[in-house]
Amino acid sequence: MPGVIQELPPVIWVDNPEAMMKFVKHVRDTGEAAIDTETTGLNRWKDHVVVWSACPDESIRYCFSRNMLPIFDQELAQDSDLTWWLTNMTFDFCMLTNSGVRAPKGNAYCTLAMDWLHDENRAGFHGLKDTALHYCGLNMVSFKDTFEKKHKEDTVETRLLQGLKEDFRGAINYASFDAYATLRVKDVLRDKLAAEEMIDGQSLWDYFCKIEMPFTRVLFNMIRRGIMVDTGYLEDLKPQLASTAAKLERQINKIAGKEINLRSTPQLRWLLFDKLGLKPLKKTKTQEPSTDESVLSAYAEEGIEVCKLITNLRKVNKINGTYVEGLAKWADPNGRIHPTLTQHVTVTGRLSSVDPNLRN
């Protein structure tokens, strides 16, 4: 691993149109820039940009106030001849869109997807801090270590704004480091992918440009459009599931001879092993009889009625919590869910979906 690099290029704070137009010229001269956003949070549908940064080359870093986004939108984002480099592209595109910036028209490359294509087995380590250290020797500090949480109710936005107020240079140095690191990482990964041959003289870089890069933009559009959920149908299911759960609970309590809390492991042990006298199938680390899912399923397969009822009750509660109530809470006012869809998580190459998890 390369040694840790301490020296960074200077950072310029941009908060007026004149300075912004100098940046615009810089980008037009280089034809490319790495960009990054610092936001109010991580929700790709609701959160927005607080400050943002860019790095057209390794000589300088720029950090901008949110007020400069309209100029970025008008002068640069709609220029199809420019190239943009990002880490976690769909996230930054969503944050820019939430802040009134149209998605950049030029080629846009995601270093997360690039690193995943180069070495998909480094699962969970494709993020900027890991790749910057691994490939470039850049030791980056975390957000939580930079922006102290002084009160329990402090949000990401309040911590960031407070940091800008108390240590302005330190805050913009942190924010612009991400754009600089992205620029450095993309150079390494582009060379690595170009050197990895596939078939017919095609390199992994050729494949990335033809397949993965356009697909990232497709995922961004999917996240923005969202997935329609029939919230009315989910609402109609609630009383049905509640009635079924209540009926199953009554049947279980009748067998127990009293009302028990099935979420309580000691009470469940009492029912299975003291009341019904079942033989323990396995034990926990503390040598107590286990009541985990596999044990209950085994008893149910043996025909133990109460275990059939308990497993059915858990299925009903999971349907209600995970899907009926769970999906409804993610829906926007138009009944659409906007999950985080990524191409750089699973080794098999299938899509990953979180917030919410729609794979299951």
**Do the domain assignments include residue 60?**
yes
Q: Are residues 34 and 165 in the same domain?
A: yes
Task: Please list, residue by residue across 117-132, b when 16 or more beta carbons sit within 10 angstroms of its beta carbon and e when fewer do.
Answer: bbeeeeeeebebbebb
CATH number at residue 265: 1.20.1060.10
Same domain as 300, residue 184: no
pLDDT digits (tens, 9 = 90+) for 94-107: 999 999 999 999 99
How high is the pLDDT of residue 141?
85
User: Residue 55 domain-assigned?
Assistant: yes
Predicted confidence (pLDDT) per residue in 287-344, tens digit: 899 998 899 999 999 999 999 999 999 999 999 988 888 888 888 888 899 988 888 7
Q: What is the domain range of residue 252?
A: 245-318
CB within 8 A of 185, min separation 6: which ones? Answer: 87, 111, 115, 128, 131, 132, 135, 136
pLDDT, mean over the chain: 90
pLDDT in tens, 139-182: 888 888 888 788 777 888 888 888 888 999 999 999 999 999 99
Give the chain's domain count: 2
Q: Indicate whether 256 belongs to any domain.
A: yes
- pLDDT tens string 211-245: 999 999 999 999 999 999 898 899 999 999 999 99
Residues 50 and 196 in one domain: yes
Report pTM.
0.81
29/175 same-domain check: yes
Domain match, 144 and 33 both: yes
Residue that the structure tokens 């007020």 belong to: 67
Q: How many residues comprise the chain?
A: 360
pLDDT attached to residue 124? 60
Question: Within this chain, do residues 184 and 43 fall inside the same structural domain, yes or no?
Answer: yes
pLDDT tops 70 at residue 4: no
Strands 336-337, 227-228: pairing is: antiparallel
Task: Write down the H helix ranges in 257-304.
Answer: 265-269, 293-301
23-32, 116-125, 230-239, 272-281: segment of lowest average pLDDT: 116-125
Q: Are residues 31 and 153 in the same domain?
A: yes
Percentage of the chain modeled with pLDDT above 90: 66
Q: Output the pLDDT for position 356.
A: 76
pLDDT digits (tens, 9 = 90+) for 240-295: 999 999 999 999 999 999 998 988 999 999 999 999 999 989 888 888 999 988 99
DSSP E strand boundaries for the chain: 11-14, 32-39, 49-55, 61-65, 83-86, 108-110, 227-228, 336-337, 340-342, 352-354
